[in-house]
Amino acid sequence: MRRFEGYGVLITGAARGIGEATARRLASEGARVLVTDIDAEAAERTAAGIEGAASCYCDVGDRASVEAAVACAVERFGTLDVLVNNAFSCSPDTPLIEDQPDDAWSRDLDISLTGAFRCARAAMPHLAAHGRGAIVNIGSVNGEQDFGNHAYSAAKAGLASLTRTLAGDAAARGVRVNQVTPGTIRTRSWDGRQDSLEILNGVYPLGRVGEPEDIAAAVAFLASHDASWVTGTTLRVDGGLLAVNTGFQRMLADEADQGAQDV
């Protein structure tokens, strides 16, 4: 199935991980993909391994850089039909919130939230041009529940709100805006921490953490004509993490087992 034949696609933070997997998935369905990243060399290497892809430096924290990347996509492909806002920043929390510096807070919000706004603002006229435009934002379960990282979580919660307001604003122009909300995904940020991933496997109702390809598949659906009547929604791709309290269920099961043994 080649749902994106003739489409031009721009993906931010696409040199690795979810962004790279999404670039590969959409290209496999016919899209011409602009792989953008703040690491220009890594973006170039990734694009070189994807048929029909090109690469471009893009710092979503800089308006001129974003506008240059959008212009690059339109120049190369003659169209821009899909924008995937994947770039993010996640600063570690300090032990005490009163020790958290302003710059870490500001950077996470600027890249993860305002960066998506900058990209949408620059891309919108082109997305609206052919009546098939779509924006897919990459959120996080952190935006819905406490998993730490104050600034990152606040930014992702804001991104879910931005998804809804942009959807309302863009609907009359034929542009759909949706969000994918991943749980834990096996990316290079987990390199060297396989033991931690094994523990996390047991937290997820479906018994494993996610792979970048799981998120790419969801993005492909929301960006495609198959989702032509879907806008303003958030699609959780989290292995059931937010729907099922696995730890609580196990505690109840353990208590039930203990009670049976005491009889």
User: Per residue in 219-245, pLDDT tens?
Assistant: 999 999 999 999 999 999 999 999 998
Q: Can you give the pTM of this predicted structure?
A: 0.94
Query: pLDDT band at residue 251, thresholds of 50, 70 and 90?
Result: confident
In b/e form, how buried is each residue of 7-19, taking b as 16+ CB within 10 angstroms? bbbbbbbbbbbbb
Q: Would 12 be classed as within a structural domain?
A: yes
Q: 41 lies in a domain? A: yes
Per the structure, the complete domain to which residue 12 belongs is given by 8-262
Average pLDDT in the 118-141 region? 97
At which residue do the structure tokens 């305002």 appear? 114
pLDDT tens digits along 64-110: 999 999 999 999 999 999 999 999 999 999 999 999 999 999 999 99
Provide the number of structural domains found in the chain: 1
CB 175 within 8 A of CB 128: yes
Alpha-carbon distance of 7 to 28, in angstroms, equals 12
- CA distance from start to end of the chain: 59
For 109, residues 6+ apart whose C-beta sits below 8 A from its C-beta are 151, 154, 155, 158
pLDDT for res 256: 57
Q: Which helix (H) or strand (E) holds 10?
A: strand 8-11
Told to judge if 152 belongs to the known catalytic residues of this protein, a careful annotator would answer yes
Residue 3, in any domain of the structure: no
Q: What per-residue confidence (pLDDT) applies to 189? A: 82
Residues found in the chain: 263
Q: Return the H-helix or E-strand segment holding 222.
A: helix 212-223
Under 8 Å between Cβ of 89 and 112:
yes
> Is the residue at 71 inside a domain?
yes
CA–CA gap between residue 226 and residue 3 (Å, rounded)? 9
**Among 69, 152, 84, CA closest to 116:** 84
Is residue 197 in some structural domain?
Answer: yes
Compute CA 9 distance to the chain's CA centroid, rounded to the nearest angstrom. Answer: 15
What pLDDT, on a 0 to 100 scale, did the predictor assign at position 78?
A: 97
| Chain segment 187-224, per-residue pLDDT in tens | 988 888 888 899 999 999 999 999 999 999 999 999 99
247 occurs within a structural domain: yes
CB 9 within 8 A of CB 84: yes
User: Is 96 domain-assigned?
Assistant: yes
What pLDDT, on the 0 to 100 scale, is given for residue 255? 58
What CATH number corresponds to the domain at position 241? 3.40.50.720
Inside any domain, residue 34: yes
